[in-house]
Structure 1
Amino acid sequence: MARAVKALTAKQALVTLSRPGPHKVLRGDLGLIGLPGVIVTPAQGLGLPAVAFGHGWLQPTRRYLGLFKHLASWGIVVAAPGTHTGALPSHRLFAADLRTALDVCTGVRLGEGDISVHPERLAVAGHSMGAGAAVLAAAEDTRIRAVVTLALAETRPSALDAAHDCAMPGLHLSAAQDLVAPTVGHVEPVAQAWAGPVQLRGITKATHLAFTEGRHWSDLLLDGRSHHTTQRLTKALATAFLLRILTGTRAYSALLEEEVRGCTIDYTRGPLPTPAHR
């Protein structure tokens, strides 16, 4: 059941959801149950929502740990496969790994057996290549209720083609200064082709790597660098969206309906649903 919280203004919701939530956070290794990667969970809870997250091209999962811990602090389990990190990844197989990560979340009691995931509260998300793979996964898996993408890059098979089969709500965050996967040629067509309710938002000062944390040798190949403001906006918007779609929490809905400083609403279609399971 969604926790009753007084509705906040967009500014209030941004401030609140930019901060860690009320839950203590645990970190584990997906490799212990057969899939390389990391899993981050609230310290306890039954029937929790979960999201499988796909990393960007050449990026290790550690570059997104701040986002994972933030979502977990707000009661959302995050599973991030550490596969296909080489120069020639298979987007199709990476999408399959995201679906396998959701299988792990729903099929195994986590922690010491006191953490479980609700099978109807599942989402996928990702950055760059991983965002495209998330769309591929969503198009083929009817369990997935929501999709969040960060600086989506087109994939093979095509995320644009897959978007036509995505009837669940989608939140797409683009980097306005992205030179690797420019909005016009990558995420904008995906958002317009989306079959379900959709919103495309542009983060004004973001580059392609703004969503990542720390430094990595791939910074020499790709445009941009880690950017605190981009990550702050991403944490708040992703948290508001996933809580709304997966748990029915409406208190932060104003953040999803209005523009905030540094983040424009570039395209939107359809109202966000409230899930039947509360």
Structure 2
Amino acid sequence: MVGTVLSCGVANAAPLDPYEDEGPYSTTRELGLSCTVFRPSNLTGDHPIVVWGNGTGTTPTAYRRGLEHWASWGFVVAAANTSNAGTGQDMLDCIGHLQSRGYASQLDFSAIGASGHSQGGGGTIMAGRDSRITATAPVQPYILGLGHDTTSQYQQTAPMLLLSGSFDVLAGPLLNQRPVYQRVDVPVFWAERTAATHFEPVGDFGDFKGITTAWWLYQLSGDSSAADLFTGPCTACNLFGWDIERKNF
């Protein structure tokens, strides 16, 4: 990272530890034509939603353990069944998919997050123009094409957790995340993981698992302890092995 950095690996990662653990819900996967849903097996009402976009050439299966992890914390995750999520439209279409499900009354459509990796990260920013989106978490977004329109970065409607890897050579931070951080005018928390490659989130989200889970609990569930990671005490501002920048908080 370049610019004003709030921390450069001077504390420890303990604040994220609780969010690395599995949540209290057992989970179920539903295979659909347009979307794959990962959700708590027993829905208890008012579950927040996250729509997901895959990286180029991948499917939800590539991120299955991470998506199940979010579901274990009570989120209903709808992953677009596409390898080309860069426009964000397939991700937004998953909202309609959930509205058609028999358990739609158990979901909170006023609390919808959008997230995705690489091309899907660029799609997340595209989806972030939609007023239905409550918060975003683009993971190593690729913004140099593949359906991404850079004007979307000026049209965000929701707070953003922007994630990078310092060893990422496919969607490097300087060309792909720094411009996003500079252009968006919503609250943005930019966290770059030291030595993470472009493939860090494949599987169980790797070192991005805890911080994204905490972000959703803060933004979609109003969890005050999770909020303290990003605002107020900002305990995530001094995480060991991370460089943090934030604005508009």
Q: Give the TM-score taking structure 2 as reference length.
A: 0.86
Unaligned runs of 5+ in 2: 1-11
SS at match of 2:141: coil
Q: Deviations over 1:204-233 (max 9, x none)?
A: 0111112112xxxxxxxxxxxxxx8xx343
Letter in 1 for 2:65: G
Which residue number corresponds to residue 13 of structure 1? 15
Does the alignment pair 1:270 with 2:248? yes
Q: Does 1:98 align with 2:91?
A: yes
The answer to whether structure 1 residue 66 and structure 2 residue 56 are counterparts is no
Taking the TM superposition and a 5 Å limit, the aligned residue runs for 1:175-194 are 175-194=165-184
Q: Residue 242 of structure 1: which of 216, 219, 222 is its match?
A: 216
Residue 191 of structure 1: CA displacement?
1.7
Within the candidate set 131, 135, 139, 1:146 is matched to 135
- 2:201 corresponds, among 186, 211, 229, to 211
Maintained 8 Å contact 2:166/2:195 = yes
Q: Is 1:80–2:54 an aligned residue pair?
A: no
The number of residue pairs the alignment matches comes to 232
Distance in 1, matches of 2:68 and 2:28, equals 8
Which has the higher relative contact order, 1 or 2, with Cα contacts under 8 A spaced 6 or more apart? 2
**Residues 120-160 of structure 1: per-residue CA shift (max 9 Å, x gap):** 01011000000101111111x11101000111101355443
2:4 corresponds in structure 1 to: none
For residues 41 and 153 of structure 1, the distance between their equivalents in structure 2, rounded to whole angstroms, comes to 27
**When the two structures are superposed, what TM-score results if normalisation uses the length of structure 1?**
0.78
Aligned to 1:41: 39
Question: Partner letter of residue 269 of structure 1?
Answer: K
| Alignment partner of 1:255 is 2:243 | no
SS at match of 2:25: coil
CA distance in 2, matches of 1:103, 1:45: 21
Identity of aligned residues (%): 24
8 Å CA contact 2:85–2:120 kept in 1: the answer is no
Runs of 4+ more than 4 Å apart: none
C-alpha displacement of 1:261:
1.8
For 2:59 and 2:90, the matched residues in 1 are separated by 15
Per the alignment, in what secondary structure is the counterpart of residue 191 of structure 2?
Answer: strand
